[in-house]
Structure 1
Amino acid sequence: MSETLRVGQALFENGPPARLQRYLGLTKGDQRNIGRRAFIVAMLGWVPLIVLAGIDRSDGVKSLLLGIDVHARYLVAAPLLVLAEAECGPRLNAIVRHFTDAGLVPESELGRYNAAVGFTGILLHSRAAEIIVFALAYLLVCAAAFSLPFDQLPLWHKAGNAITIFSLAGWWHVLVSLPLLLALLLGWAWRFVLWAQLLWRIARIKLRILASHPDGAAGLAVIGYSLRAFSPIAMALATIIAGRSAQIVLVEGALPRDTTAFSAGLLVVIGVSFAVPLSFFTPILMKALQRGSFEYGALANRAGTVFEEKWVGPNRLIDSSVLEQPDFSATTDLYAIVANVYSLRLVPIDLKSAAALGTALLLPFIPVVFLALPVEQILAELRGLLF
């Protein structure tokens, strides 16, 4: 039991590229240095692009500075993926510990629970996973960079001579900036996959849940807080999408309908993906609702019958002293408990967590909206709010 808690306390702080960062001395023990690492990621992925673009060709810097999508990826999204460790890891760890702290796992199932947590910890510490993440990142870069038609490359990415395909900034982009961003994204993808499999395994344990729990999810509502934990990751992904949309608006003056539909669909897919693992507990909650509806419904009927026989009827004399009788408060309390059962949610997602995730996905698109709308129209709408 103590080993499980010890592993769970720092479970999701690990994962690619955590091993490389420890090797480079960026993290030491409990010193995560999150702010410092986020700054290094931004400087490593963005600053050399500006410098090299200016060295290679005179019009390179101007082209790059106008690349909103580049700034969104390397100056915002990449550091945000590092800063997310401060929010996501501790929240997920707290949810994992909650299963034992709240007594949701009975003694007979502790072995299966410990095995699930231990297996997840092993995979999060896997050296092979980290190697695969970086290898896959470079494979994706190669597939994207060398399959894209040359005329579709941004100006700063092209060499100003006939000797090489890419400029100095272009080579830095394909060798450092983009692989670093993809490694961070794939590292979080690996964490999410392991989070999903951990919930899948826990959902198959015979948990000790309570249909009448006031959280409306039989005591499992805390799992829905994972949506808040993944909100920074969602915001980083949305920032990349919004950056590309903003770049299209800047170049073409408007956002094509196909691009708008694709971006909206991608945001929906991202949001649903983070919510899917929570549905693993739906079968458990359905059984709890079915059992609780019969058992608590029968209890409410019996209590209501006794209450009516005692207090309801034409021959019953009611005076002011009736308000002091414990029967009324006891019946009210019982009916409130029964109401909790009938309002049981089949997916442990609360409105605040869903709103936090939705806000994280939509917030990066606010600048895109203002960029797409003419200044005159914005001013006219603002005046309309006042007059």
Structure 2
Amino acid sequence: MHLDQHHYSLMRGGLVHRLLQAAGMLRGTARLSLWMAAALVVISLAPLVVLTARAGTLWTLPPGMPLLGDYATLARVLLAMPLLVIAAPRSDTLLRNAFRQLTRAGLVPPQRQGRLTALLAKVRRWRDGWLPEALCVVIAWLPLLFGTDSVSLLPGVADWRLEHGALTAAGRWYEWVAVPLFRLVALLWLWRFVLWTGLLWRLPRVGLALHAEHPDGAGGLAFLGMAQERFAVLALAGGILVAGACVNHVHYLGESLYDLRHLLAGYVIGATLLLVAPLLVMMPSMMRAKRHALYRFDALGNRAAALFDQRWRSGSRQEADTDSLLDHGDASAFADFSGVYKGLASMSVLPLNRWNLLWIALHAVVPLLPLVLLAMSVDELARKLLGILV
């Protein structure tokens, strides 16, 4: 059956995709993500620059926080939002490969292929439905509908978004346009994460034929751990937001990185665990496959060991001119069996290895590394490094 290029895609579908397609923006999409990221940055930031420049709060606002000194806002608009847009196509390509692997790796017996086809079709229906993404749009602008003030202010610090306790023109643009746009992009990513999690949740019910002795050490499911890495960009974007907020607290409130240590450590650990948590749904199936395989191989090992021992004993009583144990392949076969059994016994019960975990954790840590420069000057850091190296 011929499948179109979006058949296994998580990103290319839904309300936003159809609107872009209707507007003719999906023709020649080689750099579409770059253009969209640039457009969102311009829409969000350009009016803020103009309005704060007119109000005199673009660069200086002594002793308060001007726009160009608001590191949390700049991190959100200039870094996190375009990052999520630009990373989407590449992540979608790798997730598509994981979808194809499910249908081509022999993980589902032929008599149960219909269940897998139905599951993938259901995921595509969720992806293409207009309601989930319409809800994302509503949620993105929902605080405005209730008139809630979602501006995050530093206590006791004058802010470019407020004047005499009321939102400035720049503050209104930030609240009504910039923040909802970022919120919408993040929600669309989270919806794709929910779709992937839903697929993993229902996958064991299809009836997977896992092989505990598979050389990938995960019963043939190691590709799911590599696919999960594609959501590490969420940890990276979140880390950028946390880093921007921490810089503001250090610069304007005089807090130290030591004061923020629990926040930083909690973010790295929490983001990593949250992004790998969907793989936990595969644990019961993998544990069952490993347990049953160990029972089978234990029985086979007992018979193989008994036969090997019998030939060894009989070989020791043979005459010098008869064949010895080394003239048969029993020793080699028994050694091969031992290797297979050791691989089976070391099978992981999660489709996740240390490198998958490290990759996701690094995405959460990397945006926080520049904060080290706040704890010490560049000169001091250079002297310490030279002292260690020299």
TM-score with structure 1 length normalisation?
0.88
- Specify the alignment match of 1:279 in structure 2: 280
- Specify the alignment match of 1:115 in structure 2: 118
Of 66-75 and 145-154, the range deviating more from structure 2? 145-154
**Contact 2:151/2:175 (8 A) holds in 1:** no
Of 23-32 and 73-82, the range deviating more from structure 2? 23-32
- Specify the alignment match of 1:41 in structure 2: 40
- Specify the alignment match of 1:67 in structure 2: 70
**Contact 1:17/1:184 (8 A) holds in 2:** no
Counterparts in 2 of 1:166 and 1:142: CA distance versus 1, 3 Å: farther
Residue 212 (structure 1) aligned with residue 213 (structure 2):
yes
Counterparts in 2 of 1:16 and 1:355: CA distance versus 1, 3 Å: farther
Note the aligned Cα RMSD (angstroms). Answer: 3.0
Q: 1:298 Cα deviation (Å)?
A: 1.9
Residue 155 (structure 1) aligned with residue 154 (structure 2):
no
Residue 127 (structure 1) aligned with residue 123 (structure 2):
no
Q: Distance in 2 between matches of 1:76 and 1:192?
A: 21
Secondary structure at 1:209 match in 2? coil
Q: 1:323 Cα deviation (Å)?
A: 6.8
Consecutive unaligned residues of structure 2, counting only runs of 5 or more, are 61-65
Secondary structure at 2:348 match in 1? coil
Of 322-331 and 266-275, the range deviating more from structure 2? 322-331
**Contact 2:287/2:349 (8 A) holds in 1:** yes
Residue 136 (structure 1) aligned with residue 139 (structure 2):
yes
**Contact 1:16/1:183 (8 A) holds in 2:** no
Q: Distance in 2 between matches of 1:108 and 1:34?
A: 41
Q: 1:360 Cα deviation (Å)?
A: 0.6
Q: Deviations over 1:338-385 (max 9, x none)?
A: 112111111110122111111111000011122223445413321321
Q: Deviations over 1:238-265 (max 9, x none)?
A: 1111111122122234436564313322
Q: 1:199 Cα deviation (Å)?
A: 0.9
Of 21-30 and 82-91, the range deviating more from structure 2? 21-30
Counterparts in 2 of 1:267 and 1:19: CA distance versus 1, 3 Å: farther
- Specify the alignment match of 2:247 in structure 1: 246
Q: Distance in 2 between matches of 1:154 and 1:346?
A: 53
Q: Distance in 2 between matches of 1:128 and 1:30?
A: 25
Of 371-380 and 114-123, the range deviating more from structure 2? 371-380
Counterparts in 2 of 1:333 and 1:132: CA distance versus 1, 3 Å: same
**Contact 1:199/1:280 (8 A) holds in 2:** yes
Counterparts in 2 of 1:23 and 1:253: CA distance versus 1, 3 Å: farther
User: Which of 84, 95, 100 is residue 81 of structure 1 equivalent to?
Assistant: 84
Amino acid across the alignment from 1:229? R
Q: Distance in 2 between matches of 1:240 and 1:149?
A: 13
Q: Distance in 1 between matches of 2:311 and 2:153?
A: 87
How many pairs were matched up?
382
Q: Distance in 2 between matches of 1:150 and 1:34?
A: 32
User: Which of 87, 103, 108 is residue 105 of structure 1 equivalent to?
Assistant: 108
Percent identity of equivalent pairs = 29
Consecutive unaligned residues of structure 1, counting only runs of 5 or more, are none
**Contact 1:13/1:90 (8 A) holds in 2:** no
- Specify the alignment match of 2:234 in structure 1: 233
Amino acid across the alignment from 2:228? L
- Specify the alignment match of 2:56 in structure 1: 58
Q: Distance in 1 between matches of 2:147 and 2:370?
A: 27
**Contact 2:210/2:219 (8 A) holds in 1:** yes
- Specify the alignment match of 1:92 in structure 2: 95
**Contact 2:38/2:82 (8 A) holds in 1:** yes
- Specify the alignment match of 2:63 in structure 1: none
Q: 1:324 Cα deviation (Å)?
A: 7.4
Secondary structure at 1:9 match in 2? coil
Amino acid across the alignment from 2:128? H
TM-score with structure 2 length normalisation?
0.87
